[in-house]
Amino acid sequence: MSYNISSWKTKRLEQLVIPLKSLSENAELTIKGEETIITVPLSEGRGVVGILADKNLLVREINLYGEFSGSDYRYVLLPALRESMGFLEAVLIWERSDSITRLTVKDGEVVEENVEL
């Protein structure tokens, strides 16, 4: 899909860990107490947010939508998810609302399914 995501909804996120090197060199660090919060900005959404743990990102949130989100999804996020451990289920509504995708990731296995309404 060469167009963008208009809405991203995370349904389940369980102990998803992504090697930080597979995401981006543009990560933003914030230190809060004993935790180092990492934000990897993608498109207009907040991107990928999590906690630094042994050169890995323990993901707390993924929010990807708007301009460049289709490219960021295909060329940044999907390859990173293929290197992940843990579980993610999300629903993506593509621009013009003409396509909906259910994304499921379990220990690096990525499945994208079209959702029919």
Which pTM was predicted?
0.90
Per-residue pLDDT of the chain (117 residues; tens, 9 = 90+): 458 999 999 999 999 999 988 987 777 878 777 788 989 998 888 899 999 888 899 999 999 999 999 999 999 999 999 999 999 999 999 987 789 999 999 999 999 999 987
Residue 2 has what pLDDT?
55
- C-alpha 16/C-alpha 96 separation (Å) is 30
> Residue 72, SS3?
helix
Please give the tally of structural domains in the chain. Answer: 1
- Which residues partner with 27 through β-bridges? none
Residue 24 has what pLDDT?
72
Residue 1 has what pLDDT?
45
- C-alpha 5/C-alpha 11 separation (Å) is 16
Residue 97 has what pLDDT?
75
Structural domain boundaries enclosing 110: 5-114
The per-residue DSSP string of 66-92 comes to STTHHHHIIIIIHHHHTT-EEEEEEEE
